[in-house]
Amino acid sequence: MDSFQKKYYLVEVSKTRCGNSRGRIVNAKPLFVFSIIQAIEKKHLLDNRFFHSDETLKELYLSACQLYEPWYKPSPFILPYYHLSKDSYYDIKWSGKPFYPSPHAHSPSAKYLNDNAEYAFFDEAFWELLQDASVREEFKELIINFFIRKKTD
């Protein structure tokens, strides 16, 4: 395992930009990353492709939201699925026209994703790092300690 790469991705994940809803920090994107890591652990995700129609991944995301932020209504799954693509380590493979925010819509609809997105994915180097159980634990701890506990302290 390349420790330089691991440090790089730990920093990149810690720089994940969270949303803001009426002055409240929204941790949907870090919790979505957490749910992807859980799906890898459970051997649900065997390759570096995350589909917005994946019911198991949606359930893991909603469970993480309920566990770590039970006092908030979770953001719909498609929001972190799409908006995480603004961060350096995650992207969406578009089969059709990529979605660009406008004054009328900041996020694509599920129909738009169905019609235009093939799947989302991590950088290949990040995906490879996450195949190691101890590395997955480090990233889960980072997400919990940096994004969740930081808010509640």
Instruction: Please tell me the predicted confidence (pLDDT) of residue 122.
Output: 98
Q: Name the residue ranges covered by the structural domains of the chain.
A: 27-152
Instruction: Please tell me the predicted confidence (pLDDT) of residue 6.
Output: 96
Parallel/antiparallel/unpaired status of strands 19-21 and 24-26: antiparallel
- The CA-CA-CA angle for residues 130, 131, 137, to 5°, reads 55
pTM to 2 decimal places = 0.92
Q: Does domain 27-152 fall into CATH 2.60.120?
A: no
Instruction: Please tell me the predicted confidence (pLDDT) of residue 102.
Output: 66
30 by Cβ neighbours in 10 Å (0-12 / 13-18 / 19+) ranks as buried
User: What backbone torsions phi and psi does residue 39 show, to the nearest 5 degrees?
Assistant: -65, -35
Tell me: the pLDDT tens digits for 13-27?
A: 999 999 888 788 899
Instruction: Please tell me the predicted confidence (pLDDT) of residue 135.
Output: 97
Instruction: Please tell me the predicted confidence (pLDDT) of residue 2.
Output: 73
Mean pLDDT, each 10-residue run in order, the chain (153 residues) = 89 93 88 98 97 96 95 93 95 86 77 91 97 97 89 45
Q: How many CB atoms lie within 10 A of CB 18?
A: 17
| Alpha-helical regions (H) of the chain | 3-14, 28-41, 55-68, 78-83, 110-116, 124-129, 133-142, 149-152
Distance between alpha carbon 8 and the CA centroid of its chain, in Å?
Answer: 17
CB 130 within 8 A of CB 136: yes
